[in-house]
Structure 1
Amino acid sequence: MEMNQYLEIFLEESNEHLQACNDKLLELEQNPEDLLIINEIFRSAHTLKGMSATMGYEDLANLTHKMENVLDALRNETLSVTPEIVDVLFLALESLEEMVDIIAAGGDGKKDVSEIVNTLEMIEKGERDQENPSTINEQTIDQAFDEYERTIIQQSIEQGYRVYEVIVTLREDCLLKAARAFMVFELLEKDGEILKSNPSVEMLEEENFQHQFNIVYITKEEIDDVSMKILKVSEIDNVNVQPIHIEDSEVSEMETAQKYIAPAKEVAAAKENEKVTNQQKQCVNEKKMAKPTKSTTKTIRVNIDRLDVLMNLFEELVIDKGRLEQISKDLNHPELKETVEKMSRVSSDLQNIILNMRMIPIETVFNRFPKMVRQLARDLNKKVQLQIIGAETELDRTVIDEIGDPLVHLIRNALDHGIETPEIRVKNGKNEEGTLTLRAYHSGNHVFIEIQDDGAGINQKKVLQKAIEREVISTEMAESLSKEEAYQLILSSGFSTADQISDISGRGVGLDVVKNTIESLGGRISIESSEGMGTLFLIQLPLTLSIISVMLVEVGAEKYGIPISSIIESLVINEKAILHTHNYKVIDYRGNIVPLVFLRELFDVREEHDADHFSVVIVKKGEKMAGIVVDSFIGQQEIVLKSLGQYLSNVFAISGATILGDGQVALIIDCNALIK
């Protein structure tokens, strides 16, 4: 069978399962007793093993199989979750990720993982109690029980009973072994039912065993109660009681349909009624077949390149739509006007669908960071708590693909050079565990990502000193820089010298790569820091790189677009409503003092405009607001946002431009830049 056609699906689903394993393993480390988490990891590993074997990637399948064995022992509670086991499982996942990456790059997925495989095998075998081997735990469930017994166990658990494997070890000098075994059976059957024993009852009666026998016991008693009861029998050296779990997936659909299974006391009677049982099974299955199935959400995987082509075609359509609207307005033809209005509504719906197809939650990037922070904190001997807020925030796929590496660099930087060691934190009166917060949220047509730590902060004097040494700035320039401008120096390429990292308090090197990547996406990065308190890196990114709704306004003979998503309200005010405070012009807007920004002054528009009334657009950035003063409003319009190009990439308060229906170019205002 030709497998290449399934390779893309295999890679995508493999990455999904590996991410699920990583996430759940982090949860398991915090909740080591939670068997549900172990079961979820086991299911993902089991699925990945099957997929890998089907595709012919034997190394991948073999390593996953060894992982699966350890997970199986954990969920059957023959092993306990320890930090060492979690570490080895993380190492195995890292190797699996590398093998999947090799396959994605066109390789065969082979990698020498013999050391990890051996470690997993040692964990699987070495953690068992060799003095008291458990017959069931040395076998698979299928080997230990037949179909009937597995169904008995499953139904008993569903009805609230507990199923244990009881391992009884007699003293070596015990003379009447059969009598002791009989006494144990008699005690246990008072409050439960014995499903089977190993050796068999006949062999026990004939004393055809050494000094140990196993019992599968169904009861409602706790483990400790069962153990204490058996230990009352004399000449018993040791009792080991272990719970037995059988997953739903290990019981066939036919077995699950059996309704004749009685709780523990009725096991014997159930065997005699197998004929009745078969009739009930048939009846239940017929009901299942007659029951209508619920519809499920259907999805299809689409190559991102096809979505890019679709977006480019739609951008052209939007430009032509604007031109048609202008022609319709000029001709004032009723039928043409009606047709253009209908086309505008349809194109608006189409735009929403296309944009939503490209939007994915930023959690696809954030998901990789908990594991990375955990490992790096351990390597640095630091205690760090990672907080992720707003992972559901959606961002354009193109931006998502590029933002991962800059965030990795900033987070590693915060852990390595921002957050102090526990000893230093305690000495400075801080909690020994540092906090790293990763936050994402929408504001207007932008997404903001914050990386904040409560570490040492940035030492401004040392940054300036290092910048002068590296000849990034001159001594005279250093004296005139503000604190914010000084912080921006750490984003310069002149700081990318690894042996000088420790000389800059709080921050290291290589951040120029981060800055360049973010700016190439049409975003910007700013830094806020307080020495001894911590540092905040704020990344601003465009929500989408193409089509937005704007309010068109006029200032003199020029037209500007203000993104609708940033606008709270548009209003007209009297000149007398303008107040003056601290050299700022402000207005009282619904009980809030809102500063005014006059676009005429900001962009040096020279045409005269005398008026007693002003048109104001109230815009927001998070909880902050500002009023943009313009000459007049034109109206709302869908526009294709175009970059100004690399030569005009740093124009203040302008995020791009668009071509209007009449061929005129309108600049798009970046409201976030106007609000401080």
Structure 2
Amino acid sequence: MTDLSGYRELYLEELDEQLQYIEEEVLRLEHEGATDTAVDRLFRAAHTLKGSSAAMGYHKMKEVTHQIEHLLHQVRNGERMVTKPLINLMFTGLDVMKGLQEEIVRTDAETSDISPLLQQLQQFSMNAASESVIPEPPNAFSGGAKEELPGDVGQPPAQRAVYPETKSKSQTIRVNIDRLDHLMNLAGELVIDQTRIQQVRTLFRQRLGSDDLVEELFQLSDHLSLLIGELQDGVMKARMLPIEQLYNRFPRMIRDLAESLGKQVDLILQGKDTELDRTLIEEIGDPLIHLLRNAVDHGIEVPEQRRLSGKSERGTLTLSAAHQDNHVVISIRDDGAGIDADKLRGSAVSKGLLPQHEARRLSDDEALQLIFKPGFSTASQVSDVSGRGVGMDIVRNNIERMSGMIDVETVKGQGTLFRIRLPLTLAIVTGLLVNISGRIFIIPMSSVAEITRIEAKEIKRLRGEPVIKIRHQVIPVVWLHDHFQYPRPPARRYLPIVIIGRGEKRVALAVDELMGNQEIVIKNLGSFIGKIGGISGATILGSGNVALILDVDGVIKLSSNAQTNSSI
């Protein structure tokens, strides 16, 4: 008896791909209608999966795919038309198959009871004769001889011919992510050594002057920097994945949600080839799901309301991604009712978040930021889907935790746009080096809003706390010296100020000296040291010394507790 355990990983990879492929094809079938090629692609995918499942001994998966294949065979032969009940039943079968997939991954066994689904599929199959079949065009399936396909029962998946007419030969290989993480870590170490070599060569030139050996060291250093830069870029690209892998989760979700709400929604996906670090792709999934569900539930109106407003009955939801500089910008745009600023003000007052006189003073843009406050919502009733605003504080927090930013624009009656800006990777970032009491700290440049120099007399006190006013915005001032128990510098006329922030939150950090910026490799502090307020990690400088990396969110929280014990 052939041992198929070696094929299990291959089968699971293929299973995941085929289930995703089948879901995409059923969605396309529902949207575009039955064509010979569309039904044939689905039939082939189901047939292939049935064969590999049987070969691996997963009989429940085989039975479900066999029944779905039979329904598709009826469509191919003109015995049945593609109807809404058929599409819904195929989605139900797909959900059961995904449940079986989870069981196989987790326990290598199928434990779900699939008999209700099989009965439903068989009953539906027997009722085909009662349907009024729409005549097919001349090039439709004629119900001739069944095409023999590879992948029959008993043949292991590695020996089957995944079909050139549907998928081209892959030019990629699968690499364990741990190996890529290890390569990234080594590339990071090289970046650190590169910085140290550059400092050493500068010291050599200062001490030895323009010597032949010094010049040769400069040339070698420059060449090494070039190679390390290319290596770092290559490793980072190897960790990149097209955002399409994330996009694939959304069409079915939007389809089911719109149907349950009685709405008609077209989902447009743009920029599928935009690449993002795999870690960020995993992290950004939940915030995007929340924003998309909100757009369908409380952004896009029901068909009747849209018709009365002079709109198309079908709403449009657009999800797009694109590279901008060293960032990825993801946009979620709907053509729904928009967000009413007056309603936001009223909701904030009714929930006790703001007194009425303060709410009235808010501009429309300021009122729009209220949706990011914890517990804020304008939904008139609770539904299974979060109302626009419910959980938006969590969405923002998750995005900011990835060193990203989110903003929102809206036009009442025309729609809403959420724009998310993320770094390409979190492993190697550009940091601003600052001196605080002789110690070097690093601020991620993605969180730096502005760098300036102020006169000490510009610092005022508001409710006993130091603040500065920049362009009509009052910003609290924080001395990290106090938090880390370092002595403050002697009084001087001018102070370097670094304004950091996420969203509308801003804090002005008073530092002793600005020391420029450079690429840094983020190192975890480890469980031995644990979590330190205001610190997110550490890096090794070119000098070999360790510098701490500031946690912007933590510093902003510290600002609310900062106490000034001496006057300027």
Provide the secondary structure at the position in 2 that maps to 1:495. Answer: coil
- Structure 1 equivalent of residue 256 of structure 2: 375
- Structure 2 equivalent of residue 439 of structure 1: 320
Give the C-alpha shift of residue 546 in structure 1: 2.2
List aligned pairs for 1:37-186, cutoff 5 A: 37-106=38-107, 108-128=109-129
271, 291, 297: which one aligns with 1:416: 297
314, 324, 331: which one aligns with 2:197: 324
Q: CA offsets, 1:547-570, max 9 Å, x none?
A: 3579999xxx99999989xxxxxx
Query: Which has the larger displacement, 43-52 or 437-446?
Result: 43-52
Q: Note the aligned Cα RMSD (angstroms).
A: 4.5
What amino acid is the match of 2:243? I
Provide the C-alpha distance between the structure 1 equivalents of 2:100 and 2:200, rounded to a whole number of angstroms: 58
Structure 1 unmatched runs, 5+? 132-220, 225-240, 253-294, 565-601, 610-633, 650-654, 671-676
Give the C-alpha shift of residue 450 in structure 1: 1.1
Is the contact made by 1:383 and 1:433 (CA closer than 8 Å) also made in structure 2?
A: yes
363, 368, 385: which one aligns with 1:487: 368
Is the contact made by 1:383 and 1:422 (CA closer than 8 Å) also made in structure 2?
A: yes
Provide the secondary structure at the position in 2 that maps to 1:528. Answer: strand
- Structure-2 change in CA distance of 1:499 and 1:8 (3 Å): farther
Query: TM-score, normalization: structure 1?
Result: 0.59
- Structure 2 equivalent of residue 464 of structure 1: 345
Is the contact made by 1:445 and 1:563 (CA closer than 8 Å) also made in structure 2?
A: no
Aligned length: 456
- Structure-2 change in CA distance of 1:667 and 1:477 (3 Å): farther
Provide the secondary structure at the position in 2 that maps to 1:127. Answer: helix
Q: CA offsets, 1:344-388, max 9 Å, x none?
A: 232222212211111001111111211111111111111111111
Q: CA offsets, 1:477-527, max 9 Å, x none?
A: 42343333322322333237988448x997252223322221221212212
Is the contact made by 1:660 and 1:666 (CA closer than 8 Å) also made in structure 2?
A: no
Provide the C-alpha distance between the structure 2 equivalents of 1:513 and 1:5, rounded to a whole number of angstroms: 42
Q: 2:174 matched to 1:301? A: yes
- Structure-2 change in CA distance of 1:549 and 1:6 (3 Å): farther
- Structure 2 equivalent of residue 357 of structure 1: 238
Provide the secondary structure at the position in 1 that maps to 2:322. Answer: strand
List aligned pairs for 1:646-665, cutoff 5 A: 660-662=541-543
Is the contact made by 1:501 and 1:509 (CA closer than 8 Å) also made in structure 2?
A: no
- Structure-2 change in CA distance of 1:472 and 1:647 (3 Å): farther
- Structure-2 change in CA distance of 1:325 and 1:473 (3 Å): same
Give the C-alpha shift of residue 390 in structure 1: 0.9
Q: CA offsets, 1:301-353, max 9 Å, x none?
A: 22223322321232122111110121123214234333333322322222122
- Structure-2 change in CA distance of 1:242 and 1:442 (3 Å): closer
- Structure-2 change in CA distance of 1:110 and 1:532 (3 Å): same
- Structure-2 change in CA distance of 1:73 and 1:468 (3 Å): same
Provide the secondary structure at the position in 2 that maps to 1:494. Answer: coil
What amino acid is the match of 2:98? E
List aligned pairs for 1:602-641, cutoff 5 A: 639-640=520-521
Q: 2:144 matched to 1:244? A: yes
521, 525, 529: which one aligns with 2:406: 525
- Structure-2 change in CA distance of 1:464 and 1:251 (3 Å): closer
Is the contact made by 2:372 and 2:396 (CA closer than 8 Å) also made in structure 1?
A: yes
List aligned pairs for 1:511-550, cutoff 5 A: 511-547=392-428
User: Which has the higher Rg, Structure 1 or Structure 2?
Assistant: 1
Provide the C-alpha distance between the structure 1 equivalents of 2:106 and 2:332, rounded to a whole number of angstroms: 31
- Structure 2 equivalent of residue 341 of structure 1: 222
Provide the C-alpha distance between the structure 2 equivalents of 1:384 and 1:77, rounded to a whole number of angstroms: 30
Provide the C-alpha distance between the structure 1 equivalents of 2:386 and 2:411, rounded to a whole number of angstroms: 12
List aligned pairs for 1:467-478, cutoff 5 A: 467-478=348-359
Give the C-alpha shift of residue 436 in structure 1: 0.8
- Structure 2 equivalent of residue 206 of structure 1: none
Provide the C-alpha distance between the structure 1 equivalents of 2:406 and 2:350, rounded to a whole number of angstroms: 24
List aligned pairs for 1:381-392, cutoff 5 A: 381-392=262-273
What amino acid is the match of 1:468? V
Provide the secondary structure at the position in 1 that maps to 2:375. Answer: helix
Query: Which has the larger displacement, 8-17 or 398-407?
Result: 8-17
Is the contact made by 2:378 and 2:388 (CA closer than 8 Å) also made in structure 1?
A: no
Provide the C-alpha distance between the structure 1 equivalents of 2:5 and 2:378, rounded to a whole number of angstroms: 44
272, 278, 282: which one aligns with 1:397: 278
What amino acid is the match of 2:269? I
Is the contact made by 2:280 and 2:402 (CA closer than 8 Å) also made in structure 1?
A: yes
Query: Which has the larger displacement, 41-50 or 426-435?
Result: 41-50
What amino acid is the match of 1:512? D
Query: TM-score, normalization: structure 2?
Result: 0.69
Provide the C-alpha distance between the structure 2 equivalents of 1:126 and 1:72, rounded to a whole number of angstroms: 14
Is the contact made by 2:293 and 2:386 (CA closer than 8 Å) also made in structure 1?
A: no
Q: CA offsets, 1:91-113, max 9 Å, x none?
A: 11111112212333336233223
Is the contact made by 1:658 and 1:665 (CA closer than 8 Å) also made in structure 2?
A: yes
Is the contact made by 1:501 and 1:508 (CA closer than 8 Å) also made in structure 2?
A: no
- Structure-2 change in CA distance of 1:486 and 1:106 (3 Å): farther
Is the contact made by 2:329 and 2:419 (CA closer than 8 Å) also made in structure 1?
A: yes
Provide the C-alpha distance between the structure 1 equivalents of 2:269 and 2:366, rounded to a whole number of angstroms: 28
List aligned pairs for 1:582-593, cutoff 5 A: none
What amino acid is the match of 1:244? G
- Structure 2 equivalent of residue 292 of structure 1: none
Give the C-alpha shift of residue 20 in structure 1: 0.7
What amino acid is the match of 1:350? L
- Structure-2 change in CA distance of 1:299 and 1:361 (3 Å): closer
- Structure-2 change in CA distance of 1:509 and 1:5 (3 Å): farther
Is the contact made by 2:19 and 2:98 (CA closer than 8 Å) also made in structure 1?
A: yes
Is the contact made by 2:347 and 2:378 (CA closer than 8 Å) also made in structure 1?
A: no
Provide the C-alpha distance between the structure 2 equivalents of 1:494 and 1:58, rounded to a whole number of angstroms: 48
- Structure-2 change in CA distance of 1:15 and 1:64 (3 Å): same
Structure number with the bigger relative contact order (C-alpha 8 A, sep ≥ 6) is: 2
Provide the C-alpha distance between the structure 2 equivalents of 1:52 and 1:665, rounded to a whole number of angstroms: 54
Provide the C-alpha distance between the structure 2 equivalents of 1:638 and 1:524, rounded to a whole number of angstroms: 20
Give the C-alpha shift of residue 659 in structure 1: 6.0
What amino acid is the match of 1:38? V
Structure 2 unmatched runs, 5+? 153-167, 206-213, 447-476, 480-491, 496-514, 526-530, 553-568
Is the contact made by 1:501 and 1:507 (CA closer than 8 Å) also made in structure 2?
A: no
Provide the C-alpha distance between the structure 1 equivalents of 2:378 and 2:388, rounded to a whole number of angstroms: 12
Give the C-alpha shift of residue 435 in structure 1: 0.9
Identity %: 42
Q: 2:407 matched to 1:407? A: no
Give the C-alpha shift of residue 607 in structure 1: 8.8
Q: CA offsets, 1:280-320, max 9 Å, x none?
A: xxxxxxxxxxxxxxx96554322223322321232122111
List aligned pairs for 1:261-272, cutoff 5 A: none
Provide the C-alpha distance between the structure 2 equivalents of 1:297 and 1:117, rounded to a whole number of angstroms: 35
Provide the secondary structure at the position in 1 that maps to 2:38. Answer: helix
Q: CA offsets, 1:432-464, max 9 Å, x none?
A: 111111111111221111111111111222222
Is the contact made by 1:456 and 1:505 (CA closer than 8 Å) also made in structure 2?
A: no
Is the contact made by 1:419 and 1:453 (CA closer than 8 Å) also made in structure 2?
A: yes
Is the contact made by 1:457 and 1:535 (CA closer than 8 Å) also made in structure 2?
A: yes
Is the contact made by 2:379 and 2:387 (CA closer than 8 Å) also made in structure 1?
A: no
